[in-house]
Every structure is written in structure tokens, then in C-alpha cells.
Chain A
Amino acid sequence: MRVAIVGIGIHKFGRTPDRSGLQQGVYATRRALEDAGLRWRDMQFGYGGSYSSGNADALANELGLTGMPFTNVLNGCATGGSALLGACREIQSGAAEIGIVVGFDKHDRGAFNASPAEYGLRPWYGEAGMMVTTQFFAMKLRRYMHEHGVSADALAFVAEKAYQNGALNPHAWRRTPMSREQIRSSQMVNDPLTKYMFCSPAEGAAALVLCCESKARSFTSKPVFVSAAVMRTRLTGGFEVYAPAISADAAPNATELASRAAYDAAGVGPGDIDIASVQDTEAGAEIMHMAENGFCAHGEQEKLLCEGATRISGRLPINTDGGCLANGEPIGASGLRQIYECVLQLRGTAGSRQVPREISTAYTHVYGAPGISAVTILQR
């Protein structure tokens, strides 16, 4: 049985000094409930989480203490995907018919500074200056460019597209288009990646109301169905975040494992995907993730970029809402932001950034420390 998304809500991404992360989660939840024409007390269960802003269960302090089961999820970049997965299982098992999924966060400025102990590493790894996620993305990209011939121009192209899309998105953080030259000449952070090729830790929230397929049309005329929601972790030796040692002849990574499982679950292939949101922690990540998610062969990305295939008007638009580059990265919220965007696009209500053709299948992908990935496939 498929699970339907019948309500979606979002809180503006970026910086909102007068609202806590949790309050942004409350806001997104209220909007999702309104969208479905339902009330908080109609929710039979909830799943949600944040990385830095506390337990999602505390939403009930503002929305009402109804006694419903609420599961807090703490799963890094896969927090939203894992919450969605739990909620789908809840409905598919027949335990409940209607529930809420929410993700929110509010991070300090500057790069994340995770604790080695939280990842089963000893303190030296952080003390010596290796517990830095941006280094991982830069090193993975450097090797990828060496093996597959991606150029530095391609990085600026991806970032330029992100800010162009962000300019069309009222809830995005960075809404000013930037030239490739501005992007290339901004401060070097981790060679070959400059400041505007990276997303920044930020704030935001997104929420979904889910229900069983048979009830979907009583809440919306345009339900979107979850054809796959999967989450995977890393294999030994994979080139993943926070890995003191890796194998040069790497096994499939967490993204590749999640992607394959999602296609299997949905019974579709990469050629069936009409639009995609992929993790763009930095511009090179979007390029590498295009191939890891099956949309092209390794090294073929630059040709697609030059053709404009990944623009809103292209044949496979990617990160139509500006992605993490234009929205920033609130860890608990990003995965659900991608789903929010894909539901809008599938409903045909994405306004000035609506893709200009009929679409029926969307794909979302997140990747993060310490080598975890969540993928969803959504269909009209």
C-alpha cells in the first residue's frame, strides 16, 4: 500500500533571529495541517527531529498535548528521510491512518564542529584538524575531477544555477543571482571549492501530513504518493565523511546503496525521473551525486550541464528550489524541504519556478556524516 502526502508546510530558510528552531518547526507544521485541512488533534502519530534544536516532541507544547505517540528522530542529514520512513511504515502496517512528519533546525554560523566521540572516533581526529566536513567534500571532489575530468567551470555553473533558482523561491535564503566569476573569485575555503560553492549551516523547517492511500482524496485533489523511502549507511572502506582510512578501490557508497534500493522499491529507473533534488552541500557534490543516483555516467555531467539539462527548463531539472546552496543547510529540515519542493512541482503549483512540462515522478536524495543517505521517489 502506498502512502500519500496530503499536506505540506515550510518555514522560510536562512536566518530568523526571532524564532527558535522549534518555533520554526511549529510554523511549518501549522502550514502543513492547513494545507491538508486537518487539525493537530487529527494526527494519530508523529515523527520528527532536529540536530541542534531539540526534540520534535516538544512541538506539542505549542500545538497541543494530545497524547499521541511521537517519535524523535536524530539521524544527521537523514533525519527527515528517516522520519518519513518511520511514518510510512506506521501507515503501511495499519497501525495508523494519518500522521505528521516534521524536521527543523537552527545552527550557529560557520562550519559544523562535530564531536569525534559522537561518531565513535577518538579525540585526536578532531584535535589534529580532520573532523571538518568541508575537507571531505573537497577531497572527494578533487579525486573525482582527477578520475572523471570534471572542470572547475562546472562547479561555478552549478552554483550559478542554484542562486538563479533561489531567486525564484520565496522561502529560499540566498535570493540574489551571482555570476560565475563572483562565485569563482570568492574566498577559497577548501581547494578547489570557494565560499559561494559551499552551502552554509542555517535555519529552517518543513513538515508533511501523510495518510493512507484510500483516504488521500478526502484531503486533497492532488495527492502525491511515496513510491520509495529508503535510508542506507556506509560499507567498510567507502570514501565517506569522517573516515580516517578508506579503500582506494571503493565499494558502493551510501548514496549508491540508497539509490539502488529506492529504484527497486518504486519499480522505476533513473530514466523515469522527471525532476530531482540531490544533496548539494557544495557544487561538486551535486555533480557527483548526479552520477551516483544514476542520472548519467561518471564524467558525463559536464555535457548535461552545458546542454542546460539540469536547469528548470531542462530535461532533468535538479534542485529547482535552489538546493542547499541557496537555502542553507538546517540538517533536520533539508530532506523534507526537498520533498516539499517536489510535491509543489508535482502538483504544478511551484509558481515562477514551476517546470514547464507535465511531470509525474520526482526523486530526492540527501547525504551526510558519517556516510548515510536517504532517497525518496514520489509520484503523482
Chain B
Amino acid sequence: MVGSMTEPAVGRAIDPVLFDWPATRPALRGARCRDCGALGFPASASCRRCGSEAVAPEELPRRGRLWTWTVQHLMPKEPYRSSETAATFVPYGVGYVELLEGLCIESRLTESDPGKLCIGAEMELVIHPQWVEPDGTAVMSFAFKPV
């Protein structure tokens, strides 16, 4: 992790499917099925529930509640990418955040202190740098931070 977790930097999105970047009010993008009504994340070409190809993008709420969480204490192997080394790795929080009734999104959390993470806590979307390319471009991913 480089820079501040909370101050958006310029750069590019880790995957343009997930959210628009740069953006003043970024939001995660899901897909709603026109046939069965299911809302999925991330947006994909077809509905995960019924297989229909009639899906349309839908912006997800920016706030939700922490549904479960853990802390990753060991640096993952590839395909994990960051600008850290094993020596500089900082444990990170991971959780599922319930954004809508019945829809929980898996996300990194800006908080990794177990004493400060609590099921049911209100969380807010932030866009943060995941790694920096050799040319200096920050690659931005999403996370949720306690409100």
C-alpha cells in the first residue's frame, strides 16, 4: 500500500468494470437482471442466478454495514500485487459489507485493528491505491472504511 488510504490520487482503476475512475463520487457498479431481477457484483455479461444476458449496469450504494470480517496477517503470494515487500507488508482487513438487503460485497477494509472492527458497523466506500506502476501511475482499488 502506498500513500494515504483515504485521499484519492489520480491513476487508473484496477479494473474499469468495478467503478469509474477518476470520479468525484465513485460508486461500485453491479448488474441487474431484467428477467429475474437479481442484482450481481461485479457487473458481468450475464446474470449469475438465471443465466439471462439481459442485464443492465446499476450503481451500488456507497454505504453499508459490516457483515463479517477478518484480518490478513501474512502477505499473500501472487497474484496479489502491491508496492510492498514481505518486510514492509502491513496486515489488512477484509470483509463483506451489506450494501442492500441481501447483497454483501467482499472488500478490503481500511481498518485492520480487530478491536475497531465490529459486525453491524456502518462502512463507507473509498477508492485507494493498490500499487504504483514503474511509470508512477497509481492503480486504484476499492475499500470500505468505518464511518
A residues apposed to B, CB below 8 Å: 110-111, 113, 115-116, 122-124, 126-132, 135, 138-140, 142-143, 146, 187-193, 236-237, 243-249
5 A-B residue contacts at CB 8 Å?
Answer: A129-B82, A132-B72, A236-B48, A244-B106, A247-B102
Which chain A residue lies CB-closest to B77? A113
* CB of B81 closer than 8 Å to a CB of A: yes
Q: Which residues of A contact B106 (CB under 8 A)?
A: 130, 243-246
Pairwise interchain contact B49-A128, C-beta atoms closer than 8 A = no
A214-B143 Cα distance, complex, nearest whole Å: 60
Q: How many Å from the CB of A195 to the closest CB on chain B?
A: 10
A143-B94 Cα distance, complex, nearest whole Å: 13
B interface residues, tally (CB under 8 Å): 44
A115-B41 Cα distance, complex, nearest whole Å: 19
Which chain A residue lies CB-closest to B95? A139
Q: How many Å from the CB of A247 to the closest CB on chain B?
A: 5
Pairwise interchain contact B49-A135, C-beta atoms closer than 8 A = no
A187-B74 Cα distance, complex, nearest whole Å: 10
Which chain B residue lies CB-closest to A188? B73
* CB of B103 closer than 8 Å to a CB of A: yes
B residues apposed to A, CB below 8 Å: 14-15, 17-18, 30, 38, 40-42, 48-49, 67-74, 76-82, 92, 94-96, 98, 101-108, 114, 119, 130-131, 141
A123-B15, A245-B41, A248-B104 given. 9 additional CB < 8 A pairs? A116-B79, A188-B71, A191-B69, A191-B70, A243-B106, A245-B103, A247-B104, A248-B67, A248-B103
Residue from the list B67, B79, B92 in contact with A123, Cβ < 8 A: B79
With A113-B76, A122-B42, A236-B48 as known contacts, state yes or no: A140 contacts B68, CB within 8 Å.
yes
Q: How many Å from the CB of A204 to the closest CB on chain B?
A: 22
Residue from the list A110, A128, A142, A248 in contact with B98, Cβ < 8 A: A248
Q: How many Å from the CB of A71 to the closest CB on chain B?
A: 28
Pairwise interchain contact B102-A249, C-beta atoms closer than 8 A = yes
Pairwise interchain contact B81-A127, C-beta atoms closer than 8 A = yes
Pairwise interchain contact A189-B74, C-beta atoms closer than 8 A = yes
Closest 9 CB pairs of A and B: A126-B79, A138-B70, A143-B68, A113-B77, A124-B15, A245-B41, A236-B49, A127-B81, A190-B70
Pairwise interchain contact B17-A122, C-beta atoms closer than 8 A = yes
Q: Which residues of B contact A124 (CB under 8 A)?
A: 14-15, 18, 141
Q: How many Å from the CB of B48 to the closest CB on chain A?
A: 5
Q: Which residues of B contact A110 (CB under 8 A)?
A: 77
Q: Which residues of A contact B141 (CB under 8 A)?
A: 124, 127-128
A128-B18 Cα distance, complex, nearest whole Å: 12
Q: How many Å from the CB of B130 to the closest CB on chain A?
A: 6
A139-B80 Cα distance, complex, nearest whole Å: 19
Pairwise interchain contact B68-A146, C-beta atoms closer than 8 A = yes
Q: Which residues of A contact B103 (CB under 8 A)?
A: 245, 247-248
Pairwise interchain contact A248-B82, C-beta atoms closer than 8 A = no
Residue from the list A190, A236, A245 in contact with B72, Cβ < 8 A: A190
